[in-house]
Structure 1
Amino acid sequence: MEDNFIHKGKRRQLVQLMREEGIQDQVVLDAINRVPRHLFLDSSFLEHAYKNKAFPIGADQTISHPFTVAFQSELLQALPGDKVLEIGTGSGYQCAVLLEMKLQVYTIERQNQLFKSTGKLFNKLKYRPRKFVFGDGYQGLPQEAPFDSIIVTCGAESIPQQLLLQLKIGGRLVIPVGQDPQIMTLIVRKSETEFTKKTYGEFRFVPFLGGKE
């Protein structure tokens, strides 16, 4: 699985584009620069891997725009060693970025086809989430809670209460909410019962598949 100087040069260009688009967190930019996005795509898309585009990855799912990945990652305001839950592993690209940010990542995938293929890819690329689970993201991972932050990479019609309850005090939930398009939403847990909400404009995601096969 080759990652040559041409790929690395294209990643540097992508990072510069992310910076021009407003991403400021250098840890996020460095992680984007290290992850070989072309290896998370079907070979037919290789020439376009470092453009700011989403692509199909099978099972009616997509790999997000690099800007979306960077934007959500930046909203987490995560510190090295933070415990992060990702809902919607998909291709594994967002997870890889989080791992390159030196986070402890727990990730859930609902589609069995993607769960199997992405697990094999993680092994090949030596990406090691703390836990990679086949299951219903609406339920989160209560047995591993609380989390410093939770990132949802699919569009939810509403905010799952189970995820709110799995945040630490001070923890952050980044989730796209609504139908097409969704509104990027940041929830911060202020106390056992108090949460604040801030929104960041329109994005497009595949639907959250909680409770579905």
Structure 2
Amino acid sequence: MKQKILTGFIVLIGVVYNTIGFAKAMPEKIIQGPFKTALYPNGKIYFTREDDDENAVVQTCHPISFFLEKNQNSLQQKEKIDLYEEDGGCPEIKSVFFGNIQNKKYIFVMVIWDSKHPGVGMDGDFYQTHAYTRNKEGILSLDRIISDDGNLSGFEGGNNCKSDINPDGDDDCYMKYKYKTAADVKKYLKQKYH
């Protein structure tokens, strides 16, 4: 009798262990790339997002991971370069492009977040372009000077728009963002940083 109770208890613990917070994470899938990069011979970059469970009732907002794979000392290495998380909306990669600034090679990543907040009359997209290059140690990292340039982030859409939910909002509430394509950003970077 004690053996049956003990066996049942162990099986129950195994079921609880597998269903409460210890379940395997959903697999990640590549959503952009892979792209070859001149910054690393035989290197490539790509972006992944965790897959939602197709049977889930509510789909969740998953961050996007930016990875670099490269050969170093005859070994394949994988490094996580950045992570784009939920920020008022789910992140999406709008564009990935390459360029040179003052004879230095860069990777540019434009991320957008869909921002819908009816209570404050907001409905649009927030844009942010990140610039990455090799630092002094040869590591691919964020160039803070370029990435923090105020012109490389902005909002396009309705902001503080008047509605039944937001009666004190503005009638003229549409905001336009100037640099929402790779071509727009490249033109701006050429004018400012060359």
Higher helix share: 1
TM range (shorter): under 0.3
Higher strand share: 2
Normalized against structure 1, the TM-score is what? 0.24
Structure number with greater CO (CA < 8 Å, separation at least 6) is: 1
Normalized against structure 2, the TM-score is what? 0.26
Which of the two has higher C-alpha Rg?
A: 2
